Chain A
Amino acid sequence: MGLCLGLILLSLSQTSPAADERAQEVVSRVAQLFRSTSSIATVRMQISKQEGHRNLAMKIWSLGADNVLLRIDGPQEEAGTAVLKVGRDIWYYLPKAKRTVKLPPSMTMTSWMGSDFTVDDLVKESLLARDYAVTPFFEGERGGVAVYEYSLTPKPDAAVVWGRIIVQLYQVNMMPTWQGYYDEDGKLVREQTFSEYKMMGGRLIPTRIVMRAVDKPGEQTTIVFEDISFDVPISPDTFSPSNLKR
């Protein structure tokens, strides 16, 4: 599925040949957990900022790896705002101006709707397998729970922003628990925690994802999956920029 939401392992199905065999095995098992030809998800986003709290209700459609559509359904004043990813292009629908705008690449790394997620996090499938090399980092207990940790370091010519990403999984069910994003100096910049693993759409998935930036204590953004269904038929027309103004 193309639903990234920071679940970067989802796109790790093709790890580089150089990666450790076991790492590849683990990663592909996780990837298979989430793989689907299409999906429709109902999601709630809670943004906690110093200026206040906001709750967004949104729906996300995905088809293959290339098509993602995200639309805000509430609250009223923000309803209708949509982000569409087709291939490498990202489109933004402005409900008030009733215009569809193609987002310049420079804007995809800025905050989305004031949350701790970037547009990139939400809809763009980061080509991690292409851009990062995966190596085992840690295997053992963290806080009494057996986990695996993998280190993702950018390949020399990859145009990526992070210096390193650490991914942590439960050994018992290969569910992601934590992801840390480090800058080039090895400093933790932001972290993501996964919880509330539930059967949804016939699979076990973490239904609660919290993203927080290290330099903004007290602020965070939570994504809660309320419903998700996999392998449902979706018309490719759904992902046409001209269909955004629905």
Chain B
Amino acid sequence: MSRRLLQLAWRNLWRNPRRTSITMAAIALGYAMLLFVACLMEGLRQQMIENGTNLVSSQIQVHAPGYYPHRSLQKTLGGGRGTDVSALIGAVPADHRVYAATPRVYGQGLASAAHQPGGVALIGVSPEQERQVTVLHTHMVKGSYLNERMPKRIVMGDKLATTMGVGVGSEIALLAQAADGSMGDDLYEVAGTFHSGIEPLDRGLVLMSLSSLQELLHLAPGRIHEVAIKLHDTTEAVTVAETLEARLGKTLPVRVQAWPQLAPELAAYVQFNRSVTVILFFVFFLLAVMGIMNTMLMAVFERTRELGMLMSVGMRPVQVVGLVLAEATGLAVVSLVLGAALGAPLLWYLQAHGLEVGGAANEIAVAGVPVGHLWYGRQDFSAYSQAALGLAITAVVSALYPALRAAHYRPTEALRKA
């Protein structure tokens, strides 16, 4: 396409500045909205993934084969003899994509204080390392989180504490089926209560130090059920899990799973959210098609005589098509640039300050994960560029019909039109 043709197209665009500006404004505004929605949705997805994985479950879990999801007490890493826990935990971060790793023990128990006792899920954690992997310690409502130097202390869900009628400092007796088949029991002091927003955790989770739980469950210190891992980048979870399984598997039979396998509902929600965003995009593209096609049709009809003249002095139909398409593309590109300029501060605001969607959202959980009332945006450049590309293609496609019409003019007839 010659430079002259582009020049011509550009000038043509501005022959009716008002119409062109209105169309551009519409597309720019639409693009800005798309950016906003894409940014918000990406933020929501990431937030859901983080809420769903950072509280307790973590992004990647290493188990003995066959342990998950039944969580049988006996199936510890390395079997009945256990494994060198510190060596295993130390080996995981050799992968530079891993942020931190922490050991865990799981159990089931009966917790009782003054009131009617109830079943609870027990997790034994290594407090210092656990803080690197999960954020439950930032969700304490009363009291404090676990402390390495104070065994026989527990933290529990706030709703569980309320049902049991206990508070910080209360004593709680725990009874649990131990690994050797006998019953383990002991007394613990409540160090604090947490509110995660995840119902099953708030209602039935008791956390204590790894060694305390191993003692209750009659597990030797080398016997753990899980290594929980946090990554620098959540999106790499599946690939990191695969490499870890291959690497750790050389010395220890392991099964490594990433959060999409551990929380399939959450993965399904993320997929659903993506699909909804794509549908929004398509609706917008459809509207843009109408806008651009309308503008270009008008522009072509208006210039029937002129195009006829150009063709009679030697412009080939293919050049006419090129001209009209170039005009449409120009329209789209300018609109996108304007839209991006318009959207940028919105995106910045969304990322920095978040969107307050009302406190009621705190009580809403999707796929078992609380949504939260403040939605922060996250930049999703692939969505931005997909939207931009989609719009540009939309512009060209919608200009095809007017362009082909113009190319089919017969110069003599076109010239005769007033």
A residues with a Cβ closer than 8 A to B are 47, 49, 51-52, 54, 77-78, 81, 92, 94-99, 101-104, 106-107, 110-111, 113-115
Contacts and interface: CB of A to CB of B under 8 A. Distances in A.
Contact of A97 (B74, B177, B180, B186): B186
A183 B385 CA distance: 60
A80 to B, nearest CB: 10
A101 B173 contact: yes
Contacts of B175: 92, 94, 97, 101
Interface string B149-186: 00000000000000000000000011101111111111
Contact of A114 (B110, B117, B177, B185): B177
Interface string B107-118: 000101000111
Which 4 residue pairs of A and B lie closest in terms of their CB atoms, listed nearest first?
Answer: A114-B181, A94-B185, A99-B173, A97-B173
A44 B44 CA distance: 60
A3 B335 CA distance: 86
B119 interface: yes
B187 interface: yes
14 contacts: A51-B80, A77-B182, A81-B183, A81-B185, A94-B185, A96-B184, A96-B187, A99-B173, A101-B110, A102-B116, A104-B110, A104-B116, A111-B177, A113-B183
Nearest to A52: B180
Interface size class of B (residues with CB under 8 A): 20 to 34
A106 B186 contact: no
B180 A114 contact: yes
Q: Which of A49, A92, A101 has the most C-beta atoms of chain B within 10 angstroms of its own C-beta?
A: A101
Contacts of B177: 110-111, 114
B180 A51 contact: yes
B182 to A, nearest CB: 5
A103 B177 CA distance: 14
Contacts, number: 70
Contacts of B117: 101-104
A104 B185 CA distance: 16
B29 to A, nearest CB: 59
Contacts of A96: 184-187
B59 to A, nearest CB: 32
A106 B108 CA distance: 14
Specify the main secondary structure of chain B where it touches its partner.
strand
Contact of A49 (B178, B181, B183): B181
A135 B119 CA distance: 38
Contacts of A99: 112, 173, 185, 187
B74 A51 contact: yes
Contact of B181 (A51, A95, A102): A51
Given A51-B80, A114-B180, A104 B119 contact: yes
Given A94-B173, A97-B173, A113 B119 contact: no
A95 B173 CA distance: 11
A81 B181 CA distance: 14
Nearest to B216: A96
Contacts of A95: 185
Nearest to B108: A110
A103 B183 CA distance: 14
A99 B116 CA distance: 13
Nearest to A75: B182
Interface in B75-131: 80, 110, 112, 116-119
B173 A113 contact: no
Contacts of A114: 177-178, 180-183
Contacts of B112: 99, 101-102
Nearest to A221: B181
A105 to B, nearest CB: 10
Contacts of B179: 51
A8 to B, nearest CB: 25
A107 B181 contact: no
Given A51-B180, A102-B117, 10 more contacts: A51-B179, A51-B181, A52-B180, A103-B117, A104-B118, A104-B119, A113-B181, A114-B178, A114-B182, A115-B181
A211 to B, nearest CB: 14
A97 B188 CA distance: 9
Contacts of A104: 110, 116-119
B181 A54 contact: yes
A7 B70 CA distance: 33
B118 A78 contact: no
B181 A47 contact: yes
A62 B272 CA distance: 61
Interface string B378-393: 0000000000000000
A111 B177 CA distance: 9
A49 to B, nearest CB: 6
A120 to B, nearest CB: 15
B183 A78 contact: yes
Contacts of B173: 94, 97, 99, 101
A54 B182 contact: yes
Contacts of B119: 104, 106-107
A61 to B, nearest CB: 20
A107 B175 CA distance: 11
B211 to A, nearest CB: 16
Q: Which of B80, B177, B183 has the most C-beta atoms of chain A within 10 angstroms of its own C-beta?
A: B183
A107 B185 contact: no
Nearest to A47: B181
Interface string B179-206: 1111111110000000000000000000
Q: Which of A54, A95, A97, A103 has the most C-beta atoms of chain B within 10 angstroms of its own C-beta?
A: A97
A203 to B, nearest CB: 32
